[in-house]
Chains A and B, each alone.
Chain A
């Protein structure tokens, strides 16, 4: 039993790095207590059900939740917009014509063989 416990609390060593979850959990618990004590000095009251609990929308009216919903696909907008040039190029390659795909395969295999031959 003791051996199992000591194995459980042992530091995991991979040869390049190390990590001991128990020590981290101890630190987290202590830090949580400190932060909780600091937080308890703050005012916890507010006026429920009044205007102050409505979402801030810069004075715009608040519509139904379905209409106001921000889709999760928006997360990728930054990537789609900034890497548009990549997607446009990839899109052009995908013609749906099998002979085009085979041609790509042959060309890339040829490039690989040239690289392997040179090296």
Chain B
């Protein structure tokens, strides 16, 4: 137990630095790519680092109507909770640091804390704009949790179910189980299409988790001047900026763990658990995270305009939930397709088995 606690202490320091540095770096890439898509040159990749440094030199204003201790604490809690999620996610071929101490359900709950920190910070600002932004953030959270829950439950059902198509595994919510049994490996074309539905649904949930366009009505600079962040400045705003960067890495890492947990070190004939294997898999992991950020954050926010809060709720509760439920039904039918219709799994069909 003492050894585990020591590992957690040292690992948390490493993961915090990893999350912050790579989060800011990915933010730089996101801004550069989106600028090129809009015909602009865009800022240099290190601009987010400069932004944080500049924010830290600015005055840390506390509005006169604010509740100061809550106002100061909210960004801290948000960033701390976001960093803690990294402990439960695999990074390349490194198993999650807290393997055996938490599962996917815990990750789902921890993902709520940064959003709640934004809400609490907004309410504590004592500003009408911030209050409206905080209320919108709450509505957005309620909206996207529904399809997100469907996605997570479907994956766990596939791994744990003992009916046809299910793998009948124990600890279906544990990341180690999910990563060891990639969802695509055991399904026929029916289940494959089902998982594509779920992946697309999760990609559309991601911008809302990160308060990015088109789901950024809680901030809506042009309408409510930054919403729940309107009264934040200086180092407190810098903390929220860092939280946003780390959460982007967290969400992309979660998608990688759920849908793309593959590593490539074995293709190079490298010995498992050797340093070169870890290095290759880590680089491959960073590339996967980058691709997911570009698709789920950059492309969507450049291509689509901001939705109103009622449109956000409708998008998540009606079309996207139905979309995820269709994915769930296809995966349930997958058992029938493989056992009764004798459809081969996609992996066998492509000769990748």
Contact = CB atoms under 8 A, between A and B. Distances in A.
Interface string B295-327: 000000000000011111110011000000000
A42 B104 CA distance: 35
B209 interface: no
Contacts of B136: 78
Interface string B138-176: 110011000000000000100010000000001111100
Interface in B82-132: 83-84, 87, 98, 100-106, 125-129, 131-132
B340 interface: no
Contacts of A38: 20, 242
B128 A42 contact: no
A52 B12 CA distance: 37
Interface residues of B, number: 72
A13 B106 CA distance: 13
A55 B126 contact: yes
Contact of B4 (A23, A30, A36): A23
Interface stretch (B57-65, B199-207, B263-271): B57-65
A58 B1 CA distance: 55
Contacts, number: 184
Given A17-B174, A42-B56, A78 B61 contact: no
Interface stretch (B36-44, B231-239, B282-290, B344-352): B231-239
A98 B125 CA distance: 49
A117 interface: no
A57 B250 CA distance: 34
A35 to B, nearest CB: 5
A32 B102 contact: no
A102 interface: no
Contacts of A52: 59, 61
A70 B76 CA distance: 26
A76 B142 CA distance: 10
Contact of B101 (A23, A77, A79): A23
Nearest to A55: B127
A53 B64 CA distance: 5
Given A11-B100, A26-B9, A70-B131, A32 B76 contact: yes
A31 B1 contact: no
Contacts of A42: 55-57, 60, 234-235, 238
B155 to A, nearest CB: 12
A83 to B, nearest CB: 7
Contacts of A46: 59-62, 234
B4 to A, nearest CB: 7
B143 to A, nearest CB: 8
A23 B100 CA distance: 10
Given A55-B63, A55-B128, A30 B13 contact: yes
Interface in A7-41: 9, 11, 13, 15-20, 23-24, 26-28, 30-32, 34-36, 38-39, 41
Given A27-B12, A57-B129, A35 B235 contact: no
Contacts of B128: 55, 57, 68, 70
Contacts of A72: 135
B230 A30 contact: no
B231 A56 contact: yes
B46 to A, nearest CB: 17
A102 B80 CA distance: 55
Interface of A: 9, 11, 13, 15-20, 23-24, 26-28, 30-32, 34-36, 38-39, 41-47, 49, 52-58, 65, 68, 70, 72, 74-79, 81-83
Given A57-B129, A82-B317, 20 more contacts: A15-B171, A16-B170, A16-B172, A17-B172, A18-B101, A23-B4, A24-B84, A28-B80, A30-B9, A39-B238, A44-B235, A54-B63, A57-B127, A58-B225, A65-B65, A74-B132, A77-B139, A79-B310, A82-B310, A83-B313
22 contacts: A11-B100, A16-B156, A17-B103, A18-B102, A20-B101, A24-B87, A26-B8, A27-B12, A31-B12, A31-B16, A32-B80, A38-B20, A38-B242, A41-B235, A44-B234, A44-B235, A46-B60, A72-B135, A77-B310, A78-B143, A79-B142, A82-B313
